[in-house]
Amino acid sequence: MTSPSSETRHDLLVVRPSKWTLVVIVQLRQGTMRFNQLRRNMGGVPQKSLSQTLRELERDGFVTRRAYATIPPRVEYELTDLGRELLALADDWQQFALRNRRAVEEARRRFDDLAGEILH
């Protein structure tokens, strides 16, 4: 049987890493943004993917969503304190990726070469 604390850790690990999660968090570092502004800044993110990512981040308490009763409707997103804490982790992850990019590329190359040899 799994303990509640390990279930919670597993849930966070399963839910968080989507293709766009860290990109949204990093973009919101600039401050409050509207949906289309976020989408433009992210370049190439499908509307549905951005909507889903924002909903997950809001559900988990990393982002707040404010809807204004205007015509046209205006919705703004911003990081919560929890989201800013996640941003610090995103910065660490980015630094790790930059430091280790060549090592990862080399590992992938070796793996692909080996996989190619096995297939032929």
CA distance 95 to 29: 16
CA distance 92 to 40: 25
Token pair 């799994």: residue: 2
Q: What is the number of structural domains in the chain?
A: 1
Q: Strand 63-68: give its sheet, edge to edge.
A: 33-34, 74-79, 63-68
Query: Does residue 15 lie within any of the structural domains?
Result: yes
Query: Does residue 39 lie within any of the structural domains?
Result: yes
Cβ contact 36:104 at 8 Å: no
Which phi and psi angles does 34 have, rounded to 5°? -90, 160
Query: Does residue 98 lie within any of the structural domains?
Result: no
Query: Does residue 61 lie within any of the structural domains?
Result: yes
- Domain containing 55 equals 4-87
Residue-level pLDDT at 93: 85
Residue-level pLDDT at 66: 97
Cβ contact 25:87 at 8 Å: yes
> What single-letter amino acid sits at 22?
L
CATH number assigned to the domain comprising residue 12: 1.10.10.10
**Secondary-structure breakdown of the chain: helix, strand, coil percentages, each rounded to the nearest 5:** 70, 10, 20
Residues of the chain with pLDDT under 50: 14
